[in-house]
């Protein structure tokens, strides 16, 4: 329940609780909090039981934890009916990226050598900046319109 609370944080919480509630009232507060937590758990279990009863026998193996997207995806990835592990292992991302990078670099060297011999040829030179329109092409800024 408290997997992410370290010992220093726990000590800090205890010291704050003693300072806020005082040593006399602290046991009563802890009992009240524990009673409330137990009631919430009982209510949750009762609601789960009611929902399972209303869903019927076709959902008898339904788990509420499956509604969490992370749990659902993890469960589906562990279930290898679709062959997802083969597909996932078939891709080598580093190799694919290296091939794409090499293709881009070879295209750059090809375009720079071909652009020196012919300027058109149906290719667009991506190294050049596009020509910016002159400042006179834009309409003047109207302060009253804004």
pLDDT digit string, tens, across residues 69-86: 888 777 777 666 656 666
Task: Report how many domains make up the chain.
Answer: 1
Q: Is 26 within a domain? A: yes
For 138, residues 6+ apart whose C-beta sits below 8 A from its C-beta are none
Distance CA 99, CA 35 (A): 62
Distance separating the N- and C-terminal Cα atoms of the chain: 56
Mean pLDDT over residues 116-123, rounded?
53
- On the CB side of 125, CA atoms within 13 Å amount to 16
Residues 71 and 65: beta-carbon distance below 8 Å = yes
* pLDDT tens string 88-110: 677 777 888 888 888 888 877 76
Residues 44 and 37: beta-carbon distance below 8 Å = no
Q: Is 29 within a domain? A: yes
Q: Is 21 within a domain? A: yes
Distance CA 64, CA 60 (A): 11
Q: Is 49 within a domain? A: yes
Q: Is 35 within a domain? A: yes
Domain that holds residue 22: 7-62
Q: Is 17 within a domain? A: yes
Residues 29 and 21: beta-carbon distance below 8 Å = yes
Max CA pair span of the chain? 91
Is the full-model pTM beyond 0.85?
no
The radius of gyration of the chain from alpha carbons, rounded to an integer in Å, stands at 33
Task: Decide if pLDDT at 118 tops 50.
Answer: no
Helix ranges (DSSP H) in the chain = 7-55, 69-78, 84-90, 93-117
Q: Is 55 within a domain? A: yes
Q: Is 132 within a domain? A: no
């Amino acid at each position: 329940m408290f997997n992410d609370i370290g010992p220093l944080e726990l000590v800090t919480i205890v010291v704050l609780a003693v300072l806020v509630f005082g040593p006399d009232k602290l046991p009563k507060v802890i009992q009240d909090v524990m009673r409330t937590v137990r009631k919430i758990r009982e209510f949750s279990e009762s609601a789960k039981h009611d929902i399972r009863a209303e869903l019927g026998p076709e959902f008898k193996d339904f788990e509420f934890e499956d509604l969490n997207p992370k749990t659902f995806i993890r469960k589906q990835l562990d279930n290898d009916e679709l062959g997802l592990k083969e597909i996932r292992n078939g891709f080598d991302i580093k190799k694919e990226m290296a091939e794409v990078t090499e293709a881009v670099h070879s295209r750059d060297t090809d375009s720079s050598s071909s652009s020196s011999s012919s300027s058109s040829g149906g290719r667009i030179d991506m190294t050049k900046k596009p020509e910016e329109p002159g400042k006179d092409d834009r309409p003047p800024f109207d302060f009253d319109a804004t």
